[in-house]
Amino acid sequence: MNDAQIWFSTGIEHILDLNGYDHMLFIGLLVFAYPVTEWKKLLLLITAFTVGHSLTLALSVTDVVKVPQKYTELLIILTIIFTAIYLLFTSKNPAKGGSVIYLIICCFGLVHGLGFSYLLKAMLGNSDGILIPLLMFNVGLEVGQIVVVILMVVVLLLIGKCAKSIERPLKLSCISIILGVSLFLCYSRILNIIHE
């Protein structure tokens, strides 16, 4: 396996790794943002997130932007909490936020890009050639992200075909669970910052 393939597979593994569950939670929320039939809006949301995290991944790896990891981890959880609350309040009318939601998700992507960068920076060490690793790692992240989105969409489509009446309650339940988990993680990360 050549270097490009290694970085590509590392990007996929990072997004699919259970230790990267906070990013999975966020992607899950994006999938729950619209009915599956409105896939174009979902695609725009995922693209906005991708643009945001790709930008800060590059800026962070090249040391243009530096944020301590403990604060980045807290900010990532806050983006999940904010998104979950927003979705709970707009569940009856997802279009309520208009195009502003895409800008918000892009900004949240900026925060998540900082989180992705720590692994890549640690693996690069003092290496000078960062362009190929950065590009292939990011492409790997996107492929992993697409896999997660497709799996979730397929499950939602199956549920919609079998029992359409439970699709919305199921989504609201999942969003509420994600919110609860995120609030707990937020509390523990704040404690970690205070006790350091």
Task: Tell me the per-residue pLDDT of 125-158, one tens digit each, with 9 for 90 and over.
Answer: 766 677 888 888 888 888 888 888 888 888 888 8
CB atoms within 10 A of CB 15: 20
Q: What is the pLDDT of residues 162-186, one digit of tens each?
A: 777 787 888 899 999 999 999 999 9
Q: What is the pLDDT of residues 103-121, one digit of tens each?
A: 888 999 899 888 888 877 7
Q: Per-residue pLDDT for 48 more than 60?
A: yes
* Mean pLDDT, rounded, for 47-59: 87
Any idea what DSSP says for residue 124?
Answer: H
Query: By the 8 A CB rule, do 72 and 117 touch?
Result: no
Q: Per-residue pLDDT for 43 more than 80?
A: yes
- Between CA 186 and CA 176 the distance in angstroms is 15
Query: By the 8 A CB rule, do 79 and 28 touch?
Result: no
Q: What is the mean pLDDT of the chain?
A: 84
CB atoms within 10 A of CB 179: 20
Q: Per-residue pLDDT for 20 more than 90?
A: no
Q: What is the pLDDT of residues 75-90, one digit of tens each?
A: 999 999 999 998 898 8
* Mean pLDDT, rounded, for 43-52: 86
Q: Is 59 exposed, middle or buried, given 0-12, 13-18 or 19+ CB atoms closer than 10 A?
A: middle
Q: Per-residue pLDDT for 96 more than 60?
A: no
DSSP letter for each residue of 33-48: TS-TT-HHHHHHHHHH
Which residues, 6 or more positions from 109, have their beta carbon under 8 angstroms from its beta carbon? 48, 49, 50, 51, 52, 53, 54, 55, 56
**Can you give the pTM of this predicted structure?**
0.87
Q: What integer pLDDT is reported at residue 191 of this predicted model?
A: 93
Q: What integer pLDDT is reported at residue 64 of this predicted model?
A: 86
Q: What integer pLDDT is reported at residue 95 of this predicted model?
A: 54
Across the chain, the runs of DSSP E, i.e. the strands, are none
- Between CA 113 and CA 192 the distance in angstroms is 21
Q: What integer pLDDT is reported at residue 177 of this predicted model?
A: 95
Task: Of 96, 107, 79, 90, give the one whose Cα is nearest residue 179.
Answer: 79
Q: Where are the domains of the chain?
A: 3-195
Q: What integer pLDDT is reported at residue 128 of this predicted model?
A: 64
